[in-house]
C-alpha cells in the first residue's frame, strides 16, 4: 500500500523539484498542488460532517432526501 501511495504522490514531488531547480532559491509564491489537494479533501470531509450534523434541519427544509422507500412504478424494468 505504501508503494501505491508513493506512486500517486510521485508526480507532485517531481513537479516541485523541477520548479525549484528552474527558479533557483527564490521565494515561490504559488501554492503546491499537494497543498491544494489536501485542502480540497479537508473541505469535502468538513462538508460531509456538517451535512450529517444538520441532517434534521435540512430534511425539514426539504433540501435532502429522507428514508422514504422508492415506489416500484418509478423503477426501471
Q: For residue range 7-51, list pLDDT tens digits in order.
A: 777 776 666 666 655 555 555 567 788 998 999 999 999 999 998
CA dist., res. 52 & res. 32, Å (int): 31
Higher local confidence (pLDDT), 13 or 59: 59
Higher local confidence (pLDDT), 63 or 51: 51
* 58 has pLDDT over 70: yes
pTM value? Answer: 0.47
pLDDT, residue 61, reads 80
Average of per-residue pLDDT across 46-59: 88
Amino acid at each position: 500500500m505504501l508503494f501505491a501511495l508513493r506512486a500517486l504522490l510521485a508526480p507532485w514531488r517531481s513537479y516541485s523539484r523541477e520548479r525549484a531547480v528552474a527558479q533557483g532559491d527564490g521565494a515561490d509564491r504559488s501554492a503546491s498542488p499537494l497543498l491544494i489537494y489536501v485542502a480540497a479533501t479537508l473541505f469535502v470531509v468538513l462538508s460531509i460532517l456538517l451535512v450529517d450534523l444538520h441532517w434534521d434541519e435540512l430534511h425539514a427544509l426539504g433540501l435532502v432526501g429522507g428514508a422514504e422507500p422508492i415506489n416500484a412504478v418509478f423503477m426501471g424494468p
